[in-house]
Amino acid sequence: MAYLEDLRDMISQVHGADATHVESVPVKKTFHGKTVWEGVVEVFDLIGHPAAFRAYAWTQHTDDPSNPLRHITMLHLHPIESAQDAVDALIIPDFRNP
């Protein structure tokens, strides 16, 4: 449960709203038949946010030994309307700008 609490705290810090965990959504993204991202996105309902009712959050490993984990949070605001959309928003720019 510490993992979900860490993500909830991150959402509160970054987006200024309280969050309640709703579900865990497995997401797998492929590009030209190869898996480019696979993991679980945590979905939270937001309390008190002026524009969004939901947020998506997960942790990703980095290549930086001094900061091995990166917390990602994204609000449910157009065009991000699902856990899959949130992952796309993070990884698609990497494929456009290699």
Closest among 63, 59, 81 to 5, alpha carbons compared: 59
Task: State pLDDT tens for residues 78-97.
Answer: 999 999 999 999 887 655 55
Query: Residue 47: which domain range?
Result: 2-96
Q: Is residue 79 reached through a cis peptide bond, with omega within 30 degrees of 0 on the bond before it?
A: yes
Look at the chain and report how many structural domains it folds into. Answer: 1
Task: State pLDDT tens for residues 25-60.
Answer: 999 998 889 998 999 999 999 999 999 999 999 998
Q: Where are the beta strands (DSSP E) in 1-98?
A: 18-31, 34-47, 54-61, 69-75
Nearest-angstrom CA–CA distance, 50 and 77: 11
CB 58 within 8 A of CB 7: yes
CB 46 within 8 A of CB 54: yes
